[in-house]
Structure 1
């Protein structure tokens, strides 16, 4: 065989074997049920390979995991979840290493205070996966905790004007932050289960609340329909500010980036 053909054959054979071999799913070291949980990992190790079970833009209340996702999950070395939020998901049982960071709180990640408390537990879980990274992870942990204080101060400043007037929310995803910031939550038009709105009486009550609390904001969630808030804005005499926040983002967004993006939304939409 001529030398050139021999070289081509050497290059082609491995490629053909790759194309004809059974598809093998590459496994991520870490799996997270929700993108913000992956964002917490990214604060501690921005090179960590994290797989999110919830695809970008998917409804966290109505989705089914695909077989490939289940296979990847089984191969991961750590699953990070928040069972108060993802408890209804059809997760495969018996993953060997699960860190449930908020079993008793919904949307804990919107609260800098709650994030500050949970980051050391995530860092410890990552150190167990790779003890050689202990020094680096502990250093990043200290930086991440400092960032939570800075983010907290920015939220306090951004929400200062509604501490007296309050907010009406479509979905309770940001309620924990509002409580932390001492912002009155006048009403929530949708329960924690997506799509379960409270009906016309809640709308009427919210309309009265708007008239009684000039300066109150309407807060939408990017992942939910906000028809009720649109109706309130159209029927209120107060012309309230209507702000849209995003509680989920995507798997590549670190927690501090998620918070800063939402702070930017508050700044731009006021």
Structure 2
């Protein structure tokens, strides 16, 4: 009888121990999931795409392939980044801006912004040829629902949380668009017009109805401004002395500097790429504030 009681006591203790272990494991599951997310982050090709992810999911672990202040036109993936591509749960791209990068066609789960489809599912929707579409708040607002879907499918974010963030994020994009509209009015840009060396901001200013009086380079970052093109551009500036010269902090602006020296037109230095981990709202606000150079007032 004693042996029987001892046996039952041992069995009860063993059951309690197993139950305790299972309960402790269940408690650890959220931290395990969190650690996995940290180990396998969302990868983006370009820094401003990280801002779009953070707009929807502020606590997401996002890493950028393009280093800060690097030239995307002359970028090559390192062996370490190729390894990261093979481990990531999701790569977010903008193919019209990163199409020249080698190794991006590898078999990795990816989502192409502004391309009309998820690369794996071939779901088509409207798109056009605009590059640097993250600079246009209207394009951002229309693309956010598709980015939400891709992030949910990656299982790296909470579906409930990111769905709840969608409408506020779209409203923030609309607010930024309205600030650009006010800036156009404040600085009379529809009368002044702009000239650029690189077409980074062309899509946004065209959408705002601002005249583009000249673009000296192509989207392929070609050195296309010879003496004749510079003379023609200078003539345009003489005829339109209030035209703003839009420079980009991520590209050479030698031609614009030369034109400014010979015409006296104002140069506005904008940043089309931002920094990795910078929120999209902060990124756009910095560029809006750059125009305060014209009058010393912030619109």
TM-score (norm 1): 0.85
Q: How far, CA to CA, are the matches of 1:196 and 1:140 in structure 2? A: 42
2:85–2:108 CA contact under 8 A, matched in 1? no
State the SS of the aligned residue for 2:220: coil
Q: How far, CA to CA, are the matches of 2:202 and 2:259 in structure 1? A: 19
After TM superposition, give the deviation of residue 76 of structure 1 in Å.
0.6
After TM superposition, give the deviation of residue 131 of structure 1 in Å.
8.1
After TM superposition, give the deviation of residue 129 of structure 1 in Å.
2.3
2:113–2:143 CA contact under 8 A, matched in 1? yes
Aligned partner of 2:82 in structure 1 is 70
Q: How far, CA to CA, are the matches of 2:276 and 2:107 in structure 1? A: 21
Note closer, same or farther for the CA distance 1:199–1:27 as it changes in structure 2 (3 Å cut). farther
Q: How far, CA to CA, are the matches of 1:261 and 1:42 in structure 2? A: 17
Q: Deviations over 1:96-124 (max 9, x none)?
A: 32111134431111111111111111111
1:27–1:73 CA contact under 8 A, matched in 2? no
After TM superposition, give the deviation of residue 91 of structure 1 in Å.
2.2
Unpaired runs of 5+ in structure 1?
1-25
Pairing partner for 2:254 from 220, 223, 227 = 227
Q: How far, CA to CA, are the matches of 2:281 and 2:221 in structure 1? A: 26
> Bigger CA drift: 192-201 or 174-183?
192-201
Q: How far, CA to CA, are the matches of 2:157 and 2:69 in structure 1? A: 36
State the SS of the aligned residue for 2:218: coil
Pairing partner for 1:246 from 267, 271, 288 = 271
State the SS of the aligned residue for 2:191: coil
1:33 and 2:45 matched: yes
State the SS of the aligned residue for 2:276: coil
Q: How far, CA to CA, are the matches of 2:230 and 2:201 in structure 1? A: 19
Note closer, same or farther for the CA distance 1:233–1:92 as it changes in structure 2 (3 Å cut). closer
Aligned partner of 1:209 in structure 2 is 236
1:111 and 2:123 matched: no
1:122 and 2:143 matched: no
Unpaired runs of 5+ in structure 2?
1-37, 116-128
Aligned partner of 2:59 in structure 1 is 47
Divergent runs of 4+, >4 A = none
Aligned residues: 243
After TM superposition, give the deviation of residue 233 of structure 1 in Å.
1.0
The structure with the larger Rg is 2
Aligned alpha-carbon RMSD (Å): 1.6
Aligned partner of 1:79 in structure 2 is 91
Aligned partner of 1:100 in structure 2 is 112
Q: How far, CA to CA, are the matches of 2:145 and 2:178 in structure 1? A: 21
> Bigger CA drift: 91-100 or 164-173?
91-100
1:171–1:192 CA contact under 8 A, matched in 2? yes
Aligned partner of 1:12 in structure 2 is none
Note closer, same or farther for the CA distance 1:124–1:215 as it changes in structure 2 (3 Å cut). same
After TM superposition, give the deviation of residue 45 of structure 1 in Å.
0.7
State the SS of the aligned residue for 2:192: coil
